[in-house]
Amino acid sequence: DVKVTQSSRYLVKRTGEKVFLECVQDMDHENMFWYRQDPGLGLRLIYFSYDVKMKEKGDIPEGYSVSREKKERFSLILESASTNQTSMYLCASSPPGGAYEQYFGPGTRLTVT
Amino acid sequence: AQSVTQPDIHITVSEGASLELRCNYSYGATPYLFWYVQSPGQGLQLLLKYFSGDTLVQGIKGFEAEFKRSQSSFNLRKPSVHWSDAAEYFCAVGNQAGTALIFGKGTTLSVSS
């Protein structure tokens, strides 16, 4: 059974803290993605990675960075968390090519106070 | 630019009644189309997908969707809704490279008894 796991389901951080969100997939997928989900806005792509150490900006990369040192792991980093980054964060993975669906993790609900 | 529109923010359907959720897309080439479902507090699960061929596609949980190129639509249907179908539904369009999905803003389905 395919699996994408995220390190935390709920996270509360203070403004200015550095925050790491971890995502691990066990399907040997090349592509990995980080989305942000907000009510009424749907899912918006923050970053994606198509290979180890490779990354591409999505639609809303400002305030975020990513790291992919191993194929199975994709980390989202908030260098200095702000209250407007309070949101649900979803990680996904997929094989290369558009003919494949993305598999999603359960999400991390981050609150920045 | 690619875009997806889900015109209905919230729909309420009686249990046992039929359901149709609307999705319109904008994409310059042959689209790769997906419907995902998200139960409260969960990640997204793929219901069905369309890449080519038969324009009526069957998915899990008794759902189906019809691709209509002339109307740029990919509407999701179910003949008889169950209370467990209450969730948020997302339509998405993908590119051939598989590097991103563009999601609609979602439709929340409530099921009344």
pLDDT in tens, A18-57: 999 999 999 999 999 999 999 888 899 999 999 998 999 9
Structure tokens at B31: 């689209």
Angstrom distance (rounded) from CA B55 to CA B75: 11
Of B41, B43, B96, the CB nearest to A98: B96
Q: How close is the nearest chain B Cα to the Cα of A93, in Å?
A: 10
* DSSP designation for B15: T
C-alpha A72: how far from chain center: 13
For an interface test with B, give the residue of A43, A49, A55 to mutate (most B CBs within 10 A).
A43
Cα distances (Å, whole numbers) of residue A111 to A70, A75, A83, B18, B83? 28, 18, 8, 38, 31
C-alpha B60: how far from chain center: 12
Instruction: Say whether residue B95 is in contact with chain A using an 8 A CB cutoff.
Output: yes
Angstrom distance (rounded) from CA B68 to CA B77: 14
Of B41, B49, B103, the CB nearest to A42: B103
Q: Do the Cβ atoms of A43 and B90 come within 8 Å? A: yes
* DSSP designation for A19: E
If we measure between CA atoms, which residue out of A69, A59, A108 comes closest to residue A88?
A108
Q: If pLDDT is split at 50, 70 and 90, which confidence band does B52 have?
A: confident
* DSSP designation for B96: T
Kindly report, residue by residue over B54-106, the tens digit of the pLDDT: 899 999 999 999 999 999 999 999 999 999 999 999 999 987 777 778 999 99
Q: What per-residue confidence (pLDDT) applies to A98?
A: 67
Asked if residues B10 and B101 have their Cβ atoms less than 8 Å apart, the reply is no
Q: What per-residue confidence (pLDDT) applies to A19?
A: 97
Instruction: Say whether residue A60 is in contact with chain B using an 8 A CB cutoff.
Output: no
C-alpha B95: how far from chain center: 17
Q: Do the Cβ atoms of A106 and B42 come within 8 Å? A: yes
Q: What per-residue confidence (pLDDT) applies to A35?
A: 96
User: Which of helix, strand or coil describes residue B52?
Assistant: coil
Q: What per-residue confidence (pLDDT) applies to A79?
A: 94
